[in-house]
Amino acid sequence: MKPLIIANWKMNPSNSKDAFDLAKAVVRGLEGVKADVVLCPPFVYVAQLLPSSNVFIGAQDCFWVQEGAYTGEVSPQMLKNLGCSYVIFGHSERKKLGETTEMTAKKTQAALLASLVPVVCIGEHIEEEMKSILKGIAPKDVSQIIFVYEPEWAISTQPHARPATPKEAQAAFKKMCSLLPKTTSLLYGGSVNSKDIKGFIEAGAQGALVGAASLDAQEFIQLAKNSISR
Ligand code: PEP
């Protein structure tokens, strides 16, 4: 199976030219590379970044209703109509802004209804978080969701951040797998770079959610290349 590498650009870059240039460099650098890559830019750049044959476009969040009187929100259906394929939910930075696991669960269900692939971040309370997400999902849909083990302390912008060790990631994957069908994809997220990606793949990750390293085209391209098992 091809690795899946998802770029979370967060609230970067600050203008659409830089966003376009970054995406263009990544698409060029990944020509012929046998990895699936998803770029998740801020909403305002989504429409301008067209997906290519192995670089998909995703969003960093969306609402749980498809249309209506919800000021400031963006719906899964709108993203789908723009050409998005993936959407990230449950990121610890959103939780700090008030997103609860119940909200993440509703968003996950709405994204599936719009045929988007939900990429759901799971932190330290693996069982509790996963059970709340899974209870509203039909068994046939569970393997459509991509779960990411992303402990908050591993995110590069945290003070004293360090990536999880492959052993720690493996222990987390084991807990996650016990709640999921065998066909579900698990990713690792938290300070991943081109040098340590291989260890996470060997520990059982199908790929990674990448923050800081996704803003440097060459580093990100190398990371995607190094995720391929030879
Ligand atoms: C993230 O916040 O989703 C993330 C993976 O960030 P970083 O790679 O910068 O730790």
Q: Kindly tell me if the per-residue pLDDT of 184 is higher than 70.
A: yes
Query: For 48-59, what is the mean pLDDT?
Result: 88
Please determine, for residue 230, whether its predicted confidence score (pLDDT) is greater than 70: no
* pLDDT score at 4: 98
- Residue 160 annotated among the catalytic residues of the structure: no
| Known catalytic residue at 150 | yes
Q: What is the pLDDT of residue 102?
A: 96
Across residues 123-141, what is the average pLDDT?
Answer: 95
Q: Which of 96, 105, 155, 158 has the alpha carbon at shortest distance from 130?
A: 105
Average pLDDT, the chain: 96
- Distance of alpha carbon 118 from alpha carbon 47, whole angstroms: 19
Tell me what pLDDT residue 183 has. Answer: 85
Check whether 172 has a pLDDT greater than 90. Answer: yes
Ligand 1 atom at minimum distance from 208 CA = 5
Q: Tell me how far the alpha carbon of residue 157 lies from the centroid of ligand 1, in angstroms.
A: 8
Instruction: Output the CA 143–ligand 1 centroid distance in Å.
Output: 23
pTM greater than 0.95: yes
Which atom from ligand 1 is nearest to the alpha carbon of 191? 10
Give the model's confidence band at 7: pLDDT under 50 very low, under 70 low, under 90 confident, else very high: very high
Ligand 1 atom nearest to CA at 163: 10
Q: Which residue among the candidates 150, 160, 168, 202 is catalytic per the annotation? A: 150
Check if 194 has its Cβ closer than 6 Å to any atom of ligand 1: no
**pLDDT for the residue numbered 180:** 95
Query: In what helix (H) or strand (E) does residue 30 lie, and over which residues does it extend?
Result: none
> Is 54 in a helix, a strand, or coil?
coil
Longest alpha-carbon distance in the chain: 51
- b/e 121-157 (16+ beta carbons within 10 angstroms → b): bbbeebeebbebbbeebeeeebebbbbbbbbbbbbee
Using a pLDDT cut of 70, give the percent of the chain over it: 100
Element at 164 (helix H, strand E): none
- Sign of the alpha-carbon dihedral angle for 206, 208, 214, 218: negative
Among 67, 91, 129, 152, the active-site one is 91
Average pLDDT over residues 165-187: 95
Q: Is any atom of ligand 1 closer than 6 Å to the C-beta of 189?
A: yes
pLDDT band at residue 52, thresholds of 50, 70 and 90? confident
Which pLDDT score is estimated for 51?
75
Q: What share of the chain in percent tops pLDDT 90?
A: 94
